[in-house]
Amino acid sequence: MASAKPPDIESDLVLVITKTFDAPRERVFDAWLDPDSIALWIGTRDIRAETLELTPHVGGRYRIHMRRTDGSSGPIVSGTYREIARPERLIFTWTWESGHPVAAGQDTLVTVTFAERSGRTEMTLKHEVFSSKDVRDRHKEGWTVSFEKMAERLAQA
């Protein structure tokens, strides 16, 4: 087993990736929510994705089959849109339904922000695990759950 490398624990909690594209924000944003567009680029190069379902509004679901170029099936990822603020921000949950060697069944949250940089678009993706209570509470689901509980209590009263 490799030796532990814990010194960067703070920043290692969440994955953050930034990339600048030579295109306006709307185009970069739309590439995420158009079923045909996203299938053309999402995944590593050994994947030819197929969008099975994509309902681009808050609460709407997506399901994407990460088919492999060698013909083998590959896993399916699915989730729900939490926030769609075109062209600034997009938030959705991300869960591999099955067959994923690293992260099957684990609920994660993806936040993508789009910043205008003199006609170009700086896109930042944040990907984090949110099934742990501490992390989840920082997000809307914490509030949603609280409101649901409150509603239940009010209904019982």
Partner 1 sequence: MTAATLLDLSFSALADPTRRAILRRLAQGETTVAELAKPFPISAPAISRHLRVLEAASLIRQEREGQFRRCRLDPAGLQTAAMWLDFYRGFWSESFDRLGEYLKTTQPVLTKRKARSHGKRKAAGH
**Which is nearer to partner 1, 59 or 101 (by Cβ)?**
101
The answer to whether 145 contacts partner 1 (rule: CB under 8 A) is no
Number of residues counted as binding partner 1 (CB under 8 A): 45
User: Segment 14-53, which members bind partner 1 (CB under 8 A)?
Assistant: 15, 17, 19, 21-24, 26-28, 31, 37, 40-45
DSSP assignment of the chain: -PPP--TTHHHHTSEEEEEEESS-HHHHHHHHH-HHHHHHHSS-TTEEEEEEEE--STT-EEEEEEEETTS----EEEEEEEEEETTTEEEEEEEEEE--TTTBT--EEEEEEEEEETTEEEEEEEEEE--SHHHHTTSHHHHHHHHHHHHHHHHH-
The answer to whether 98 contacts partner 1 (rule: CB under 8 A) is no
The answer to whether 151 contacts partner 1 (rule: CB under 8 A) is no
Q: Write down the least CB distance from residue 67 to partner 1, Å.
A: 15
The answer to whether 69 contacts partner 1 (rule: CB under 8 A) is no
Q: Write down the least CB distance from residue 1 to partner 1, Å.
A: 5
Distance CA 16, CA 14 (A): 6
Nearest partner of 121 among 17, 16, 23, judged by Cα: 23
The answer to whether 147 contacts partner 1 (rule: CB under 8 A) is no
The binding site for partner 1 (CB under 8 A) comprises 1-7, 9-10, 12-13, 15, 17, 19, 21-24, 26-28, 31, 37, 40-45, 101-106, 123, 125, 127-129, 131-135
